[in-house]
Amino acid sequence: MNYQWTAWTATNLAKGISPLKLVTTMVENSVPEAEAFTCVSTVLASPCFLDLSKLDQKLQKAYSILQILQRLKEQTPDYGIIKKIDPPTMDEFVKDYWTACYPVVIKGLTADWPARTKWSLEWIRQNFGDEMIEIQEGRDNDPEFELNSLSLKKKCTLEDFIQRIFDCESSNDFYMTANNHSLEHTRLGEMMNDIGTLPEYINGALTTGYWHLWMGPKGTRTPLHHDENALLHTQLAGRKKWYFVPPYELPNVYNTRGVFSEVDIFNIDYAKFPDMQSVKILEVVVEPGETMFLPVGWWHAVESLDRSISTSFINFNLPNNWIFKNPQDTR
């Protein structure tokens, strides 16, 4: 019996699936019946499986607590609504959103930012078109493009990149994402001079590695994942639609690798991912000039509804370094 079937058997036995059902499933998948019975019997008799069962019981207890907390959250009157608010004070931000760990769209944060009226794809091309930048290229040919983002990096001039944006109606194949580091290594860093007043919960003295620039065509998508820091994400041009799943829904999002979910939230296969049927997905469209506060640990996916320019910040005047023990896929 190969390792994959043995591991599959151990995992499902630990979940409480009956041995007979596992044998039936293996036989339906062309495993000889005698081999299937031997596999199940061997796993059940293994000391390692007994240890796995004990660990899984602890995991299921933790999962049950997360689910209870989520259902309690859902009983609040305004649950599920991503509010759009005027810039909060430091105390309001900390009390109502940071420590409450709940997303919110902040309006008017860019009121005195020159970037709000100055930045456009054409303006950026005219002023920085000869700069070499890094983008993700070939995303359409890799279903796990975000997980494999490093292998999809490509260098090109900003002129060529922006021309491609103008030449297409909609595409997810190429995108300048936060890991391009253009603000640190090119003259694009000068654009940060067009960022005006920052809220008191952002530390404007911290820049390198804390501010990021995003640009791309309509149609770019970021798959369902969670960040390991909280952030502010500001739209300077174009709109983005955000999809949210609370962190308490961890048991239902099929997180088997790093910070990513296996679920395509834009087209959920409920037959393959049945646990997602109980998940309430929150949605909001962020308009130009608006800022999304993304709390740490929230699952989210993002879709560009227009050609888009955005900037994001993680340099809070609050502790924002968190430790996640992420699953490592050994396939």
Q: What residue ranges do the domains of the chain occupy?
A: 3-71, 82-313
Count of CB atoms situated within 10 Å of the CB of 121: 21
Q: 222: exposed, middle or buried (C-beta count within 10 Å: 0-12, 13-18, 19+)?
A: buried
Concatenate the DSSP letters of all residues of 68-99 into one string.
HHHHHHTTSTTTT---EESPPPHHHHIIIIIT
pLDDT at 147: 83
pLDDT at 331: 47
Closest CA relative to residue 164, chosen from 139, 188, 189? 139
DSSP character for 208?
T
CA distances to 121, 128, 151, 155, 170 from 164, in Å: 11, 16, 21, 14, 10
Closest CA relative to residue 225, chosen from 123, 301, 152? 301
| pTM to 2 decimal places | 0.86
pLDDT at 1: 64
Q: Are strands 211-216 and 308-313 parallel, antiparallel or unpaired?
A: antiparallel
Closest CA relative to residue 215, chosen from 119, 298, 143, 294? 119
- φ/ψ (deg, to 5) at 329: -75, 125
Fold of 82-313: Jelly Rolls (2.60.120)
| Residues whose CB is less than 8 angstroms from the CB of residue 114 and which lie 6 or more positions away in sequence, other chains included | 193, 194, 196
Beta-ladder partners of 159: none
**Crossing angle, helix 33-45 and helix 47-73, to 10 degrees?**
80
The radius of gyration of the chain's CA atoms, rounded to the nearest angstrom, is: 23
pLDDT at 11: 79
Closest CA relative to residue 248, chosen from 299, 320, 295, 324? 299
pLDDT at 12: 82
Query: Along the 331 residues of the chain, how does pLDDT read in single tens digits?
Result: 677 888 888 878 877 789 999 999 999 999 999 999 999 999 998 888 877 777 888 888 999 999 999 999 999 998 999 999 999 999 999 999 999 999 999 999 999 999 999 999 999 999 999 999 999 999 999 988 888 888 899 999 999 999 999 999 999 999 998 777 777 778 888 998 999 999 999 998 877 778 889 999 999 999 999 999 999 999 999 999 999 999 999 999 999 899 999 999 999 999 999 999 999 999 999 999 999 999 999 999 999 999 999 999 999 999 999 999 998 864 4
DSSP character for 316?
B
Would you give the end-to-end CA distance of the chain in angstroms? Answer: 17
Q: In what order do the strands lie in the sheet with 211-216?
A: 84-85, 104-106, 291-294, 231-237, 308-313, 211-216
pLDDT at 329: 61
pLDDT at 165: 97
Q: Are 265 and 275 in contact (CB under 8 A)?
A: no
Q: How far apart are CA 253 and CA 263, in angstroms?
A: 7
